[in-house]
Amino acid sequence: MSVAALRKEWNACLNKYGSIGRCDKTQKELAGAAKSEGADACIDETIALMRCTTGSGKADGCSNQFLAMRECNRATGREIVQEGGAYTVVSTVAGRYTAGANTLTNSTPPQRTL
């Protein structure tokens, strides 16, 4: 099966059961296919986001996980990546951003309060 077909099957399983563990077999097949094709199936990002939104991490808003998932799913590839505690624009796409964009990615969001 292709990576796209396996990813679709894995996503359907996750939607049906809402549990990473119940879809372990499909996940392993997807990881193997992605590795052999040299593709990124966003498995780690999906798992991190699901764990955050269903666990105690959701109190912080899961912003890092959402950003990682968004960047992983870009049709043109990742444009913003996390390096240490800060984000940076990937050098191959820097021309798409204004000159000061890299300094903006290093900012931190305000603390969440009610």
What's the pLDDT score for residue 33? 94
Residues 48 and 36 in one domain: no
Distance CA 79, CA 98 (A): 13
Number of domains forming the structure of the chain? 2
Q: How does residue 64 score in pLDDT terms, banded at 50, 70 and 90?
A: confident
Residues 60 and 14 in one domain: no
Residues 13 and 67 in one domain: no
State yes or no: pLDDT of 43 exceeds 80. yes
Q: Range with the lowest mean pLDDT among 46-50, 72-76, 83-87, 102-106? A: 102-106
Indicate the residue among 41, 57, 73 that finishes a domain.
41
Distance CA 35, CA 53 (A): 27
DSSP type of residue 10 = H
Residues 61 and 80 in one domain: yes
- DSSP one-letter string for 29-65: HHHHHHHHHT----HHHHHHHHHHHHSGGGGGT-HHH
Average per-residue pLDDT in the chain?
85
Three-class SS state of 86: strand
* Domain extent for 107: 44-114
Residue count of the chain, please give it. 114
Residues 88 and 32 in one domain: no
User: Rg for the chain (alpha carbons), in Å?
Assistant: 16
Which range has highest mean pLDDT (25-29, 62-66, 96-100, 106-110)? 25-29
